[in-house]
Amino acid sequence: MAGRFELLSEQGLRLDGRRPHELRHIKCKMGVFEQPDGSAYMEQGNTKVLAAVYGPHQAKGKKTETNDVIINCQYSQATFSTSERKNRPRGDRKSQEFKMYLQQALSAAIKSELYPRSQIDVYVEVLQADGANYAVSLNAATLALIDAGICLNEFVVACTASLSKSNIPLTDISNIEEVSGGPKLTVAALPTAEKIAFLEMSERFHIDHLETVIETAMAGCREIRDILEAAVKEHLIHIGSAADWGRVC
């Protein structure tokens, strides 16, 4: 790991001035669009993601043969989302990979027994990429699913974590920290049940540190869950104020 850029300054601050356990600023909004059944917009630092959900509807094509719910995802990244222009918004290996991972994590959260022979489409569009793209996409997808009224076991949220040279775990990795070559761990979790729906890591960790880094990511997940939950409640108060549901939450 020689020559690796130091992620943590001597004062214990990260490159963007955060402390090791701090998340980036999160802003979100549900019900951005009219046409989809559910939609959400999420901003985590400079990473900005739009998600739309269509369904549940009758499964199309040859997918109708199975009895289970089909969760169809698409991950695409706007061509202007990165500092270098991307040539295509989707179809590259990275977006195929993210699409599969989204499917995996969402399948763990959706109450599939309620939607036999149906299909749920989840489309994610990254408008600005600044690290933790998968995690923010999944969080936005969760909000969009809730906006669409699809039953979930619980919030499925994702968070990234890394490890500084001095073995201090870092939460919510930004793009600059990603490219400076530290290890990266992404966890998608069902925080209340303390279940992990999806885990991915790159670079290398010593097995002794893995536990603490996972715990850091889980703590991040719990924090994000609280933020999302507050956002959902506020949205409900907002849309339900006419019918006086707001006070129920």
* 118 belongs to the binding site for another protein (CB under 8 A): no
Structure token pair of residue 165? 């040279």
Q: In b/e form, how buried is each residue of 119-129, taking b as 16+ CB within 10 angstroms?
A: bbbbbbbbebb
Among 17, 83, 93, 242, contact with another protein (rule: CB under 8 A) = 83
* 61 belongs to the binding site for another protein (CB under 8 A): no
Structure token pair of residue 15? 């490159």
Chain residues 1-30 in contact with another protein, contact rule CB under 8 A: 27, 29
Structure token pair of residue 241? 């104020």
Give the nearest distance from C-beta 94 to another protein in angstroms. 16
Among 7, 8, 41, 228, contact with another protein (rule: CB under 8 A) = 41
Partner residues linked to 76 by β-bridges: 125
Q: Is 66 exposed, middle or buried (0-12, 13-18, 19+ CB in 10 A)?
A: exposed
Cα dihedral: 127, 77, 155, 218 (round 10): -100
Among 21, 68, 82, 196, contact with another protein (rule: CB under 8 A) = 82
Q: Which is nearer to another protein, 70 or 189 (by Cβ)?
A: 70
* 138 belongs to the binding site for another protein (CB under 8 A): no
Q: Which residues contact 174 (CB under 8 A, 6 or more apart)?
A: 15, 16, 24, 45, 46, 130, 131, 132
Give the nearest distance from C-beta 121 to another protein in angstroms. 5
Cα dihedral: 239, 151, 62, 137 (round 10): 70
Q: Which stretch binds another protein (CB under 8 A): 3-11, 12-20, 38-46, 182-190?
A: 38-46
Give the nearest distance from C-beta 51 to another protein in angstroms. 8
Question: Where do contacts with another protein occur on this chain (CB under 8 A)?
Answer: 27, 29, 32-36, 39, 41, 43, 46, 48, 50-52, 54, 72, 74, 76, 78-83, 85, 89-90, 121, 123, 125, 127-130
